Amino acid sequence: MHFVKLFRKIAVSVFSAAIFAVSSISCVSAEDSINSFYEKWKDNYVVRDTYVTDEDQYYVWYSGEKYNNDNQSVAVTVSEAHGYGMLITACLDDKELFDGMYRYYKAHTSDIGSNLMSWQQCDNGTALIDGASDGSMQGGSADSATDGDMDIAYSLLIADSVWGSDGDISYKSEAVNIINDIMKYEVNKTDWILQLGDWVYYCDENDKYYSATRASDFIMQYMPVFAEVTGDDRWLEVYNSTYDIIDKFVDEYNTGLLPDFIIKDSSGEFTAAPEYFLEDKTDGSYGYNSCRTPWRIGMDCIVNNNPSAKKFTETINSFIINSTGGNPDNITAGYTLDGKSTEDYNDLCFDAPFIISAKCGDNSEWNDTLWNYILDYDDDVYYGDTIKMLCMISYTDKWIVPETQPDIISIKKYILGINDTAPESSDINKNNVTDVFDLSMIKNKSMAEK
């Protein structure tokens, strides 16, 4: 079994620090860097939907294009970008923008899973429309993409942890609704793996897309959280089955590199997809989708110290350090699974995720070199800059793991050495939440009684 009990944010810094590379990066300088880059990121990519006049709705402008009065609609954002924006604003305590992004999400839901987000919106000069294709000025049927839905759900759990759910938006119940729809519409319940989007829900089991999955959707740290907040242990089936796939590729290629898309072959084995399976020639290579895996899988090493995540990060760290000679500028924008570069240029979206896998390792020189390289990187585009923003947050204590009742019990038993694990006994200062102040007070009381 791959499942390891998750710890909430405070437990990460207390209990898991020993597994990380010792870095010379100070907390103060990291926070200053994050705050500065966040202001730049907001200015460049966060846009208000000006067609909506009765409330503020915000989205993340991903395309760099605008409608230019030529009767051709222009794509302006996708659910992937929107999930990223909601994660960033929740972690950085920007409630005004977060709530505006929530309202935008609610205005653009899928026609299949009603709590999932339509994967793309286009500007036709009078509105942002869903389901438009090839420049159509009219909307069409809307469906979802799995990673955007997972990020939106998790961001709402963060929002519940940061602001609570007693206001106008019940963040937690909204998150649970999304998570339940992901399980219903975006999980292959034969192999217990994530599917590409809710549109696959209508595919026959023999369809090539039914058993396909996307490595960039392997957001492993979320799955135990989703199981906790919904009480749906099927998320642990997905967690374990996904790690079986990750382990297979790590063992087979010894690079840690995963393909953009993964399919189930005629023998029942999961293998790299062929060229142009869904998007591009690189569908079976380490490309612009799977470049996020050192971050996405690495976070489960940081938060849960999962052994398969640890093995993955150790393998990919070794590969990237050796292949680049320890120089981040030598990271290329694509690799075959056995480690040959497919491109001759560098790209920020490939660089930034490696700071998360680096944090799981023990090479402080590589850790610091990579962090400074990413901080000094020139202005990029939406994709690179947004992944950089999220990796900076994830690298520091700005990343939030939603608190769950079992976490409190684990922390109490570990720190305090007491057997009374009833959650209600933890709220010493009677503010209806168990937090670090309660734990400190319990510890002081325990020491005074000895």
Instruction: Give the pLDDT confidence of 1-14 residue by residue, as tens digits.
Output: 454 444 333 333 32
**Are 234 and 123 in the same domain?**
no
Domain limit, last residue, from 126, 150, 185: 185
SS3 state at 23: coil
Q: What is the DSSP string of 360-389?
A: TSS-HHHHHHHHHHHHTPPP--HHHHHHHH
DSSP H/E element including 129: strand 128-130
Q: How confident is the model at residue 425 (pLDDT cuts 50, 70, 90)?
A: low
**Are 418 and 393 in the same domain?**
no
**Are 423 and 441 in the same domain?**
yes
Nearest to 135 by CA among 65, 87, 183: 65
- Specify the amino acid at residue 360: C
Q: Which of 9-13, 127-131, 237-241, 335-339 has the lowest mean pLDDT?
A: 9-13
Q: Which of 142-151, 153-162, 315-324, 428-437 has the lowest mean pLDDT?
A: 428-437
Segment 345-359 shows an average pLDDT of 98
DSSP H/E element including 175: helix 171-185
> Which CATH number covers residue 163?
1.50.10.10
**Are 153 and 76 in the same domain?**
yes
Say if residue 145's pLDDT is above 70.
yes
Has residue 32 been placed in a domain? no
pLDDT score, position 35: 94
pTM: 0.87
Instruction: Give the pLDDT confidence of 195-245 residue by residue, as tens digits.
Output: 999 999 999 999 999 999 999 999 999 999 999 999 999 999 999 999 999
* Separation in Å, CA 175 to CA 144, 167, 193, 313: 16, 15, 20, 29
Residues noted as catalytic: 80, 147
pLDDT score, position 420: 45
Give the helix ranges, DSSP H, for 266-425: 293-296, 298-304, 307-324, 348-351, 354-359, 364-375, 382-395, 405-411
Instruction: Give the pLDDT confidence of 16-48 residue by residue, as tens digits.
Output: 333 445 455 666 688 899 999 999 999 999 999
Total domain count, the chain: 3
Mean pLDDT of all residues belonging to the chain: 88
**Are 246 and 145 in the same domain?**
no
Instruction: Give the pLDDT confidence of 371-407 residue by residue, as tens digits.
Output: 999 999 999 999 999 999 999 999 988 999 986 544 4
Query: Tokens 């971050």 correspond to what residue?
Result: 295
Has residue 431 been placed in a domain? yes
SS3 state at 104: helix
Domain limit, last residue, from 141, 161, 185: 185
CA 117 – CA 182 distance, rounded (Å): 11
Nearest to 76 by CA among 103, 102, 108: 108
CA 94 – CA 100 distance, rounded (Å): 10
pLDDT score, position 43: 98
End-to-end CA distance of the chain: 39
Has residue 38 been placed in a domain? no
**Are 136 and 207 in the same domain?**
no
CA 61 – CA 325 distance, rounded (Å): 36
**Are 211 and 261 in the same domain?**
yes
CA 389 to chain centre: 12
CA 359 – CA 313 distance, rounded (Å): 9
Per the structure, the complete domain to which residue 151 belongs is given by 49-185
**Are 239 and 337 in the same domain?**
yes
**Are 274 and 387 in the same domain?**
yes
Has residue 132 been placed in a domain? yes
Has residue 270 been placed in a domain? yes
CA 263 – CA 249 distance, rounded (Å): 12
Has residue 43 been placed in a domain? no
**% of the chain with per-residue pLDDT over 90:** 80
Q: Are 113 and 70 in contact (CB under 8 A)?
A: no
Q: How confident is the model at residue 409 (pLDDT cuts 50, 70, 90)?
A: very low
- Specify the amino acid at residue 23: S
CA 270 – CA 262 distance, rounded (Å): 6
Has residue 44 been placed in a domain? no
CA 103 – CA 151 distance, rounded (Å): 15
DSSP H/E element including 77: strand 74-78
User: Buried (b) or exposed (e) across 88-115, using 16+ Cβ within 10 A?
Assistant: bbbbbebeebbbbbbbbbebbbbbbbeb
Has residue 252 been placed in a domain? yes
Q: Are 108 and 142 in contact (CB under 8 A)?
A: yes
**% of the chain with per-residue pLDDT over 70:** 83
